[in-house]
């Protein structure tokens, strides 16, 4: 499969091939650092350990902890998936880049947390445009971010406000609608679906981003409750010009072929969801899941690095009669 983005063309502001270090886009790194200072989260950010970090939560304290200690890693994970400097996930990279080429695009980011997934993607694309790697075609983005935590949604909104002037310099214009969503609730999902349907009347292309949802969904109870709601989300986001990317940390509970999150998801898209979702993989690959890892530079400590691991599953959102 031909790549739309050659790793050899990646600018040094995003990737250093000699050291193998990934850099979060400069605009996003600066905005994140600014918010950490503005909200007095420096000590909290510096107190993280090398062990598994916080997974977030609905309370303000949990959201603060996750933002201070995990946002940069979450952003780096998604950016690594998009840039794919090690050529591990061409179908996903190509799928997202096609969506972001220009014109009008609706992005459904759920759960969006503090916006790490979408803002990492847009930040990297803006940097690639600024460096002349990607063409500077006007791109209007309607971001539909859904997240249970009010505090996390506030961080996402603040970050976007910081980033918008930089995005617009590269002809990327973003309007956002951040609201609450409970993946286990039929009523909450119905409101989300209603918003998708209204948006689809103006934005004919849709990108569905699902990232860092495994901690919640690998609970048997939560998976059972959320499965019908996820089906509704994929159904109403489907269409010939649409695409979905599911991005998670590389962990056994995600990649295990007998009962892992992606194995369960694959069963859904080959059985009950097959009319509106299908696997997206390179010819000859036995499964659509790809994995990668890299070191990334810490925005709050430019001399320091951490390692990020990811597993991805690209999904074509099509409709079959």
Higher-pLDDT residue of 32 and 303 is: 32
Is the backbone peptide bond immediately before 196 cis, with ω within 30 degrees of 0? no
Average pLDDT rounded to a whole number, residues 66-81: 96
pLDDT of residue 270: 87
Q: Is the pLDDT of residue 281 over 60?
A: no
Distance CA 148, CA 192 (A): 12
Nearby residues of 154 by Cβ (< 8 Å), 6 or more positions away:
none
Average pLDDT rounded to a whole number, residues 273-282: 80
3-state secondary structure at position 23: coil
Distance CA 161, CA 60 (A): 20
pLDDT of residue 289: 85
pLDDT of residue 129: 98
Average pLDDT rounded to a whole number, residues 286-297: 85
pLDDT of residue 112: 97
Q: Is the pLDDT of residue 50 over 80?
A: no
pTM score of the predicted model? 0.94
With a pLDDT cut of 90, the percent of the chain lying above it is 81
Domain range annotation of the chain: 10-47+54-317
CATH topology of domain 10-47+54-317: Rossmann fold (3.40.50)
pLDDT of residue 52: 58
pLDDT in tens, 121-175: 999 999 999 999 999 999 999 999 999 999 999 999 999 999 999 999 999 999 9
Average pLDDT rounded to a whole number, residues 204-221: 91
9 DSSP assignment = G
Phi first, then psi, for residue 40 (nearest 5°) are: 65, 40
Average pLDDT rounded to a whole number, residues 46-55: 67
Under a CB-based contact definition with an 8 Å cutoff, are residues 72 and 298 in contact?
yes
């Amino acid at each position: 499969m031909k790549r739309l983005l050659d790793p050899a063309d990646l600018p040094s502001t995003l990737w250093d091939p000699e050291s193998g270090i990934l850099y979060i886009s400069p605009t996003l790194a600066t905005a994140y650092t600014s918010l950490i200072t503005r909200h007095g989260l420096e000590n909290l950010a510096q107190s993280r350990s090398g062990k598994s970090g916080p997974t977030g939560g609905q309370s303000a304290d949990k959201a603060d902890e996750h933002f201070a200690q995990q946002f940069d890693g979450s952003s780096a994970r998604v950016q690594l998936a998009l840039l794919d400097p090690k050529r591990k996930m061409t179908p996903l990279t190509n799928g997202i880049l096609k969506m972001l080429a220009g014109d009008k695009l609706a992005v459904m980011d759920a759960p969006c947390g503090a916006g790490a997934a979408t803002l990492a993607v847009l930040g990297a694309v803006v940097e690639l445009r600024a460096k002349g790697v990607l063409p500077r075609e006007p791109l209007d983005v309607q971001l539909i971010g859904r997240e249970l935590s009010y505090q996390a949604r506030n961080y996402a909104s603040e970050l976007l406000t910081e980033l918008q002037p930089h995005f617009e310099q590269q002809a990327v214009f973003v309007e956002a609608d951040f609201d609450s969503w409970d993946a286990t609730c039929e009523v909450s999902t119905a409101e989300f679906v209603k918003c998708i349907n209204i948006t689809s009347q103006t934005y004919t292309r849709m990108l569905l981003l699902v990232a860092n949802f495994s901690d919640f969904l690998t609970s048997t109870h939560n998976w059972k409750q959320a499965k019908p709601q996820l089906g509704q989300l994929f159904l109403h986001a489907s269409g010939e010009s649409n695409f979905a990317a599911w991005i998670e940390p590389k962990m056994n509970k995600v990649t295990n072929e007998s009962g892992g999150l992606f194995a369960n998801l694959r069963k859904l898209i080959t059985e009950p969801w097959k009319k509106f979702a299908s696997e997206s993989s390179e010819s000859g690959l036995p499964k659509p899941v790809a994995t990668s890892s890299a070191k990334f530079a810490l925005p709050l400590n430019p001399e320091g690095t951490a390692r990020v691991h990811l597993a991805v599953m690209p999904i074509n959102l099509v409709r079959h009669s």
